[in-house]
Amino acid sequence: MPYQTIDVKPIAGALGAEIHGPDLSKPLDNQTFSEIHQAFLDHQVIFFRDQDLTPDQYMAFGSRFGAPTRYPFSTGMPGYPELFEIRKEPEEKRNFGGGWHSDGTYLETPPLGTMLYAKETPTHGGDTQWASGYAAYEALSEGMKKFLDGLIGINSAELKKSGGRENRGKMYQNMALSNLDEAGKIVAEHPLVRTHPGTGRKALYLNQAHTVCIKGWTEEESKPIIDWLCAHFVRPEFTCRFQWRPGSIALWDNRCTQHFAINDYQGQRRVMHRITMGPERPV
């Protein structure tokens, strides 16, 4: 679609585009917002540079995509329960989000979108990658697509593969995480292939962090197919990578992407503000 109020510059073949023009601190007119929304649907993850937003302005922009949702393992920032700070201090070794995943797949109604706003970034490193579930699905053989049709993934918040959420959570000393011992109880069933309500396109919908097995199969039986699909999902040609600067914002579509925060900036601080929005049941 031709854009009239914004400039859209794709950054990779499968997904990702930088949007130039809008000042997100100002209320956006309907035409500008509808073009940004279209760019979000067209490119799956969109990026803005040099934004200077108060928490209220940030929440106001995010809310136009759907009702803000709370991260189940944080009480949020003071006065802003849906605003969640991701912080890694110079002395910390582990980073948050350092594994391929889509946000909240263990919820009955995962958030359709996530927004991340860079407050403090390392001098270099600390990029984030995204992978397209559309590109990954569309590259499958007809035989594999037929095999996946109707299969349901069981998604857990437990993070079993990385030693359990409680243990992993304790490593992030500078983040206000809570409720970690409840993670094993948060489980949801979703199709391995979902149809995006805004585009009608099919996307792979599973991830190594949370998809523990296929419904009706044992974990042992499920593992080879989950491992293969997860490796296929993040093939380099289905990904893009974004280099942050303070003031950068990324807005991604959890319905058709996964993301991965790269942990290559030891000894430096990185602080991001995250909101998720638009709870929606995958179909």
Active site residue ranges: 101, 103, 259, 274
Q: Does 259 bind ligand SIN (CB under 6 A)?
A: yes
Shortest distance, position 12 Cβ to ligand SIN, whole Å: 16
What is the DSSP secondary-structure string of 205-218? ---TTTEEEETTS-
* Cα–Cα distance for residue pair 206/154, rounded to 1 Å: 9
Residues 95-154 that bind ligand SIN (CB under 6 A): 96-97, 116, 128
Phi/psi class of residue 235: alpha, beta or left (left: φ > 0; alpha: ψ in -120 to 50)?
beta
Shortest distance, position 32 Cβ to ligand SIN, whole Å: 26
* Cα–Cα distance for residue pair 265/186, rounded to 1 Å: 32
- If residue 46 lies in a helix (H) or strand (E), which one and from where to where? strand 45-48
Q: Does 274 bind ligand SIN (CB under 6 A)?
A: yes
Considering the complex, state which of residue 194 and residue 259 has its C-beta at the smaller distance from ligand SIN.
259
String marking each residue 193-232 x if it binds ligand SIN according to CB under 6 A: ----------------------------------------
Q: How many C-beta atoms lie closer than 10 Å to residue 125's C-beta?
A: 15
Give the number of residues in contact with ligand SIN, rule: CB under 6 A: 9
Considering the complex, state which of residue 113 and residue 153 has its C-beta at the smaller distance from ligand SIN.
113
Shortest distance, position 131 Cβ to ligand SIN, whole Å: 13
Q: Does 86 bind ligand SIN (CB under 6 A)?
A: yes
**Residue 10: partners with Cβ closer than 8 Å, 6 or more residues away:** 16, 17, 43
Considering the complex, state which of residue 96 and residue 205 has its C-beta at the smaller distance from ligand SIN.
96
Q: How far is CA 263 from CA 8, 19, 96, 140, 246, in A?
A: 28, 26, 9, 30, 17
Residue among 176, 90, 100 at smallest CA distance from 132 = 100
Q: Does 168 bind ligand SIN (CB under 6 A)?
A: no
Q: Residue from 261, 275, 278, 282 that binds ligand SIN (CB under 6 A)?
A: 261
Tokens 């699909």, residue?
229
Binding residues for ligand SIN (CB under 6 A)? 86, 96-97, 116, 128, 259, 261, 272, 274
